[in-house]
Amino acid sequence: MPLLQLFNLRKDFGGLRAVDDVSLEVATGAIVGLIGPNGSGKSTLLNLIAGSAERTAGRIIFDGDEISGLSADQVFQRGIARGYQDPSLYLKMTTLDNALLPVKSQRGEHPWYAPWRRFWQKQEAENARAAAGVLEQVQLLGHYDSLASDLSGGQMKLLEMGRSLMGSPKLLLLDEPTAGVAPNLAYEIFEEISRLRQQHGITFLIVEHRLEILFDFVDSVYVMHLGNLLAHGSADDIASNETVREVYFGD
């Protein structure tokens, strides 16, 4: 049974059909790539899965349950986390504080409880332990006290990825995890993804423009074009697919 299944998913923005009857599946423990030219609907598709955009039609099944129509919060609670195309770190905060941001209902943030340490001390310590755990997973524990602005571009992307691990997700949706990162670091980010899959059983659906790196790590690749799914196959199949080459590489 696949971890994620989409059935005839559609998204219209006014007269524009950004996602057009997309059906796909992601097997448990797989790393699946989602590629396509600019504007082909990749980010919109991730938004639909994550519940941050409302579908026009279609169904989304995750871990055996229908999640179509759930809010982004509810989808996150079910075990789907996402990274964004533009990293959204707070540069003047430390690495650890950035990792702590997604934790919900922190008592110390509540004006009523905040003045009384004993109401939130234990929770705070538990959260910090969890955050240290994810920082260790992305090899940033040694930088826990550094300002996010002092991290390298690659480390920022890793921190962002680590932060999305805070809720122990089963599925991680990543939108261009290597955007703006030097090539050698980009490769390291994918090695990290591969390690997270191996050690923590996390499943990945990854939008990426750097095909030469992506293709080294994926189990399969879906190709989108103008909102439609154009092809699905192994990295080798996709690299040698004539139609894909035409729309994607323009040859």
Ligand X SMILES: Nc1ncnc2c1ncn2[C@@H]1O[C@H](COP(=O)(O)OP(=O)(O)OP(=O)(O)O)[C@@H](O)[C@H]1O
Beta strands in the chain (DSSP E): 4-13, 16-26, 31-35, 57-62, 65-66, 80-82, 171-175, 203-207, 220-225, 228-233
Q: Is 250 exposed, middle or buried (0-12, 13-18, 19+ CB in 10 A)?
A: exposed
Considering only 3, 32, 42, 221, the residue that binds ligand X (CB under 6 A) is 42
What residue spans of 11-116 are helical by DSSP H?
42-50, 72-78, 95-100
Distance of alpha carbon 99 from alpha carbon 130, whole angstroms = 9
Pick the piece of the chain touching ligand X (CB under 6 A) from 11-19, 22-30, 142-150, 179-187.
11-19
Total of residues contacting ligand X (CB under 6 A): 11
> Is 44 an interacting residue with respect to Mg ion (CB under 5 A)?
no
Least Cβ distance, residue 41 to ligand X (angstroms) = 4
* Contact predicate 123/108, CB 8 Å: yes
Pick the piece of the chain touching Mg ion (CB under 5 A) from 12-20, 37-45, 135-143, 189-197.
37-45
Pick what 137 binds: ligand X, Mg ion, none; C-beta below 5 to 8 Å, kind-dependent.
none
Smaller CB separation from Mg ion, 142 or 180 = 180
Q: Which residues contact 127 (CB under 8 A, 6 or more apart)?
A: 100, 103, 106
* Contact predicate 45/95, CB 8 Å: no
Considering only 36, 83, 154, 162, the residue that binds ligand X (CB under 6 A) is 36
Letters for 43-82 (x = contact with ligand X by CB under 6 A, - = none) are xx--------------------------------------
Pick what 44 binds: Mg ion, ligand X, none; C-beta below 5 to 8 Å, kind-dependent.
ligand X
Query: Helix or strand or coil: residue 78?
Result: helix
> Is 39 an interacting residue with respect to ligand X (CB under 6 A)?
yes
The residue assigned the tokens 């599946």 is: 25
- At position 239, the amino acid (one-letter code) is A
Distance of alpha carbon 156 from alpha carbon 147, whole angstroms = 11
Considering only 4, 19, 43, 135, the residue that binds Mg ion (CB under 5 A) is 43
Distance of alpha carbon 157 from alpha carbon 98, whole angstroms = 12
Pick what 83 binds: ligand X, Mg ion, none; C-beta below 5 to 8 Å, kind-dependent.
none
Considering only 31, 40, 177, 231, the residue that binds ligand X (CB under 6 A) is 40
Pick the piece of the chain touching ligand X (CB under 6 A) from 2-10, 38-46, 57-65, 192-200.
38-46
Q: Is 47 exposed, middle or buried (0-12, 13-18, 19+ CB in 10 A)?
A: buried
Q: Which residue is nearest to Mg ion (CB)?
A: 43
Pick the piece of the chain touching ligand X (CB under 6 A) from 34-42, 95-103, 163-171, 240-248.
34-42
Residues at the site binding ligand X, with contacts judged by CB under 6 A: 13, 16, 18, 36, 38-44
Give the binding site for Mg ion (CB under 5 A): 43
